């Protein structure tokens, strides 16, 4: 996402420096703005969008299966009404999946603000392999399967219906105590 060719960054920095130098009628301001622009491109831009020189993460079959499950969770969550989406996070796994134009972006982890995995896919390229920018294995991966069960259940019921709230919460409590997730069925209410 948002990768600029290194030569384009240099040209933009030179243009910015020239405009500021002419505007302030000062070579010093021009040189200073060039270095500020290059600092922005080299440090800030790469910090926000990542570096093209980062180690490439190999997409193994296990990692691909994990991403497929996370994508399914994200898609289920996106189909839910806004007031019901938070239920997908009830076990502490946070999944965000977005599609914009022909690009899909997936972020997930046990921390709402720092992902354990960050991946993207470009549907327009014809190559439907995920590009993984970040992957930090951890305990959050143990929450993927039960969160997927919850997301699918929520998708079927379009959230948690009022007559299911108590039994749903009891199922979550049971999972957190015993590690066994048994969501309420239609017949139980």
pLDDT beyond 90 at 155: yes
The SS3 call for residue 15 is: helix
Note the pLDDT tens digit of each residue in 10-58. Answer: 777 778 778 877 888 888 887 888 888 777 766 666 665 555 545 568 8
Tokens 């069960």 found at: 149
- DSSP letter, residue 142: G
Q: Where are any strands of DSSP class E within 4-138?
A: 94-100, 103-109, 117-122, 131-135
What length does the chain have? 189
Strand 117-122 and strand 103-109: the pairing is antiparallel
Percent of the chain with pLDDT over 70: 85
Q: Please give the model's pTM, rounded to 2 decimal places.
A: 0.69
Note the pLDDT tens digit of each residue in 121-134. Answer: 988 877 778 889 89
Rounded Cα gap, residues 176 and 189, in angstroms? 22
Note the pLDDT tens digit of each residue in 82-116. Answer: 999 999 999 999 999 999 888 899 999 998 888 89
């Amino acid at each position: 996402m948002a990768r600029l060719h290194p030569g384009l960054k240099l040209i933009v920095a030179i243009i910015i420096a020239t405009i500021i130098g002419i505007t302030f009628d000062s070579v010093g301001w021009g040189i200073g703005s060039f270095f500020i622009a290059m600092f922005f491109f080299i440090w800030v831009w790469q910090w926000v969008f990542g570096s093209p020189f980062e180690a490439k993460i190999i997409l193994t079959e296990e990692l691909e299966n994990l991403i497929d499950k996370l994508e399914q969770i994200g898609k289920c969550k996106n189909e839910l009404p806004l007031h019901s989406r938070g239920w997908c996070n009830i076990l502490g796994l946070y999944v965000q999946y977005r599609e914009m134009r022909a690009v899909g972006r997936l972020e997930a982890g046990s921390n709402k603000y720092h992902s354990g995995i960050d991946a993207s896919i470009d549907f327009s390229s014809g190559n439907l392999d995920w590009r993984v920018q970040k992957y930090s294995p951890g305990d959050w991966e143990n929450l993927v399967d039960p969160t997927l069960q919850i997301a699918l259940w929520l998708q079927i019921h379009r959230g948690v219906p009022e007559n299911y709230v108590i039994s749903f919460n009891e199922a979550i409590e049971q999972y957190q105590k015993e590690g066994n997730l048994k969501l309420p069925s239609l017949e139980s209410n």
